[in-house]
Amino acid sequence: MAGLSRIIAKELSSMLGITDNPKFNPMFKQTDEALEDVFDTSSNPNSATIAEFYSPLESAIDNAAIGKQGTRGENIEAFVRKRAPKVTQGELEYREFSLDPAKKYTRGLAQQESMEPLSIKAVRQSPENARAQRQYDLLDSEVGYEEVAVDVIGKDLGLTTHYGTSNLAHTRYSVRKTSPTSKQKKELSEFFSTENSNRITSLSSKFDSSLGKKYILIEELQSDVIQNMSNNPTKDVNKLLNNFKKDFNSDMEEIAFKPQFESSEKLIEDYKDFVLNDFIPLVLNKKLSEEKAFESLTKIFKDRGYNMANNLLIPGEPFKALKQMFNNMSADNAIYDFKEKDKLLDSISNAASFFTRSLKNIVSKKDTPLTSLTDSVRVLLQSIIADAKSKGIDEIVLPPIEKLAEKRFGTGGGKTYRKAITKGSGFHNTYVVAFDKALKQLQAELGNQIKVGTKDLKYKGYSVNPKDRQMARRFPNGNIAKRVAKEQEEDFVILKGKSINIKDLKLDPNKVKLRFNKGGLVKGLMSR
């Protein structure tokens, strides 16, 4: 039945003029000239930009059948929305793609007026998390380490992530070098110390050909945006807002019952109005820069007859404004102090801070061009592949999920660890489900240019006496330390990692753009 379905689908596609053409919006699009800000890492290994992404949406317009005198907007839009390949609904909504149906557009005009510009790059970050959740018990030596972020460039998205307000996803990986064990080193030494007429054949039979070769070990794949994406943002916002109002009203009721406020009902209502209708909407407006937010808050104070202190919108400390406004309003009513004043104002500020921080963490699909976990993993893999090519490395390896979870949630088989490696968890969905789907997308487009398999990873065992380990750490040059080092080198377990071999992938990392969105079918020529 499945085979019959494929035949029918193929015939139907042929009838409709649909083809799965990898040359149209390919995952890795080679350019004729070197990209301006993608540098050759052999000469500049610390260059910030690893790769640029191109948008299939823009490429679709570039490849649409638009006449020299222009084509009606409704025809261009129909092609882009219904027949253009690899254009996602998420990007269409995020960029607010739209054309005047009756107006005629040239190609350049269609690009200019149909959507907001979008620039996305894979950018090298400073290694600030080099000690966090690392695969330190892998025996292969580490010879490099990278933190890479996929960012929207030149636009503040107002997102809350580990790598800034415009970060869509990030990855951390090390460069490893396959190392021989003590036994292999001894055999190698003995081999070269003896006469051997057929050394090459003998040597290849004794040792893995991968020994001494570098490979990239993925140690983290993460998208804070996807993790915080809400299926029902309105419901989540209302829940948080109701909780804040409950706490805020409770604090205000306690203030209102103070003797000093018996005849100051208007003060209480004015302050509530400021907090709920002025301040909260302001700090939640993701489209406002810090400078514009400061200007708006200054105006709010001025409109109410007050001057605002210059330090009230210091990053991370905007809630000083809540205290100043309350003190200003209280002074107008000759109220300067009351019992537990600082405690109550701190409670209001903390509740507002938690509320706005939680709201900013909520991401809707309209806030970002990246809305799928699989897409986030794929763009990270594309970035790693581009960096691997620039480094001259042919293999990328993902450790088993158990070792990744161990570094994140601890050892010992705890409840959190067991949940993480279980099917259905966010961790499992990332490192198993989404990773495997992204691999299939790569294979579907690149075919034999990449090879997916497994790689033996040697991890330290735990049979060495813990007291001996402790003594070795205290006296690193002593005999016990030497013995422990030898025992540890031979005390290892072999686990299977997922391997991506890109040796046969032909691309120039300095002249390639990565496709931002996923694959799809391409329809034939657009009707005018």
Q: What is the pLDDT of residues 244-285, one digit of tens each?
A: 999 999 999 999 888 888 888 888 999 999 999 998 888 777
Domain that includes residue 307, residue range: 233-361
Report residue 519's pLDDT band, with 50, 70 and 90 as the boundaries.
Answer: very low
- Given a cut of 70, is residue 520 above it in pLDDT? no
Q: Does residue 100 share a domain with residue 125?
A: no
Q: What is the mean pLDDT of residues 109-128?
A: 89
From residue 448, give the alpha-carbon distance in Å to each of 31, 50, 503: 22, 24, 10
The reply to whether 183 falls in a domain is: no
Q: Does residue 354 share a domain with residue 435?
A: no
The reply to whether 3 falls in a domain is: no
Q: Does residue 418 share a domain with residue 302?
A: no
pLDDT for 292-308, tens place per residue?
A: 888 888 888 899 888 87
Please say which residue of 310, 337, 361 terminates a domain.
Answer: 361
Token digits of residue 46: 């610390």
pLDDT of residue 407: 92
Say how many Å lie between the first and final Cα of the chain, rounded: 39
Residues 281 and 356: their CA atoms lie apart, in Å, by: 9
Burial (CB < 10 A; 0-12, 13-18, 19+), residue 392, is exposed
Residues 103 and 523: their CA atoms lie apart, in Å, by: 24
Residues 524 and 504: their CA atoms lie apart, in Å, by: 30
pLDDT of residue 11: 43
Q: Does residue 381 share a domain with residue 301?
A: no
pLDDT of residue 184: 57
Averaging pLDDT over each range in 45-54, 100-109, 314-323, which range is the top one? Answer: 100-109
Report residue 150's pLDDT band, with 50, 70 and 90 as the boundaries.
Answer: very high
DSSP 486: H
The reply to whether 61 falls in a domain is: yes
Please say which residue of 309, 332, 361 terminates a domain.
Answer: 361
pLDDT of residue 47: 62
Q: Does residue 451 share a domain with residue 395?
A: yes
Element (H, E) at 173: strand 167-177
**What 3-state DSSP class applies to 85?**
coil
DSSP 323-372: HHHHHHHHHHTT----TTHHHHHHHHHHHHHHHHHHHHH-B-GGG-S---
Higher local confidence (pLDDT), 186 or 115: 115
Q: Does residue 337 share a domain with residue 242?
A: yes
pLDDT for 360-402, tens place per residue?
A: 788 888 888 888 899 999 999 999 999 999 999 999 999 999 9
Which residues, listed in sequence order, are joined to residue 104 by a DSSP beta bridge? 72
| Sign of the alpha-carbon dihedral angle for 198, 200, 205, 206 | positive
DSSP 527: P
The reply to whether 79 falls in a domain is: yes
CA 244 to chain centre: 30
Q: Does residue 372 share a domain with residue 224?
A: yes
Beta strand spans in 100-160 (E): 104-105, 120-125, 141-152
Q: Does residue 382 share a domain with residue 504?
A: yes
Q: Does residue 447 share a domain with residue 336?
A: no
The reply to whether 190 falls in a domain is: no
pLDDT of residue 521: 34
The reply to whether 423 falls in a domain is: yes
CA 148 to chain centre: 9
Torsion of Cα atoms, 85 then 88 then 92 then 94, to 10°? -150
The reply to whether 197 falls in a domain is: no
Q: Does residue 356 share a domain with residue 421?
A: no
- Given a cut of 50, is residue 458 above it in pLDDT? yes
Q: What is the mean pLDDT of residues 231-246?
A: 88
Q: Does residue 380 share a domain with residue 353?
A: no
Residues 165 and 259: their CA atoms lie apart, in Å, by: 45
Please say which residue of 346, 361, 376 terminates a domain.
Answer: 361
pLDDT of residue 410: 83
Q: Does residue 478 share a domain with residue 371?
A: yes
Structural domain total, the chain: 3
Q: Which of 397, 385, 408, 403 is nearest to 504 (CA)?
A: 385
The reply to whether 458 falls in a domain is: yes
pLDDT for 398-442, tens place per residue?
A: 999 999 999 998 876 678 899 999 999 999 999 999 999 999 999
Report residue 9's pLDDT band, with 50, 70 and 90 as the boundaries.
Answer: very low
Residues 420 and 523: their CA atoms lie apart, in Å, by: 41
